[in-house]
Amino acid sequence: MAVEVAEYLGVRTDTGISIKPIPIGKAPNSTKPTLPCPFKNSHCDKAKRGDKPVCSVRDPVTKEVWIVCSHRLCASSPKNSQLTSHQASILHQVAKVIFDPSITPVEVLVKREVPIKVTEDSDYSADFVMWRRNPNQTSPFNPDRAVILEMQGGGETTNTGELTKHIDSWDSAGIVDNEFLTTSVSKVAPLITNAWRRQQEQFLVKGNVAMLTGGRMVFCVGTMLYDYLLQRFRNGILSDLSDANWTLALLAFKEDPEHSHAADCAPNSIPLKIDPERTIFTNYNSFVQVLTNQALPSPSLFVGDYMDLTGQIVKI
């Protein structure tokens, strides 16, 4: 159980680019700089609140990337009207998979942080709502429909303090040394279960709203979260509706080793692409049923030693 720092303030750590430490602390009088985020038209929220500006980490064995910043995959904040080239690239990739491989950027229409009314006091919102300009309704099997698009590339890690200590040591060394920064940090691992648990309610509610409103649900995740979910499907069968009337799509983003330093990605960051081997197009209701039907009966669950409210042991 260990990770390596894969990106620091948007710069990948496994290239010849020397990364300079940025002094950041959480104490009241510590430095909390306003630094530009390369993935959105705004500042780095992590640095601004006193956290280390780590965008992603890497499994030292599998080399898979786990995103640890909510803005890294594709930030949805509408405060800045213009999309960055990185955001446009990610959204275009999604549109080409769910609509048509030949779709052009000008045909992709998006709204960000769209409110979803569930109850009077609900505060749900869709990361993105996406449609294509002049939607194609000529096919009776798979006409274009608007989609709710959710981005969950990763999440937190276990023992975050250990990772912070590691970066503090690198900071205090005063040496621009990527090798030190990328040394494996033990006892730290992606917290995949928490990432999924945190999203389940949002996913179920937003997906249901999309169905009731005549739309579809598209869930973009990292490869680790995709594989975790796939394990939950072992007792259920999901129909492949990629060429039919699908209502739920699950798309996994992975590192694109052949697209380094691409103009449409954030400079010097890890380029990402949708993994064609990790996509699911199916029926939303079937997907939900498979998720909720994971468990098996447990005969020993309700038998054994009980205690009544007077302290006496009763065997059942």
- Residue 95 has phi, psi (to 5 degrees) of -60, -40
pLDDT score, position 190: 95
pLDDT score, position 293: 75
Residue-level pLDDT, tens digit, the chain, 316 residues: 899 999 999 999 988 788 888 877 666 666 777 889 989 988 999 988 889 999 999 999 999 999 999 999 999 877 767 899 999 999 999 999 999 999 999 999 999 999 888 877 777 899 999 998 876 655 544 557 899 999 999 999 999 999 999 998 888 876 677 888 889 999 999 999 999 888 887 788 899 999 999 999 999 999 999 999 888 775 557 888 988 889 999 999 999 988 754 555 677 899 999 999 999 999 999 888 887 776 778 888 899 999 989 999 999 9
Residue type, 163: L
Count of alpha carbons within 13 Å of 39, Cβ hemisphere only? 27
Cα distances from 53 to residues 45, 130, 167, 173, 286, in angstroms, run: 8, 30, 10, 18, 39
**How many other C-beta atoms are found inside a 10 Å radius of the C-beta of residue 102?**
7
DSSP state of 106: G
**How many other C-beta atoms are found inside a 10 Å radius of the C-beta of residue 170?**
22
pLDDT score, position 247: 94
pLDDT score, position 180: 85
Q: What global pTM score does this model have? A: 0.89
pLDDT score, position 26: 65
First vs last C-alpha separation in the chain: 41
pLDDT score, position 121: 76
Cα distances from 182 to residues 1, 54, 192, in angstroms, run: 15, 12, 22
Q: Are strands 147-152 and 216-222 parallel, antiparallel or unpaired?
A: parallel
pLDDT score, position 136: 62
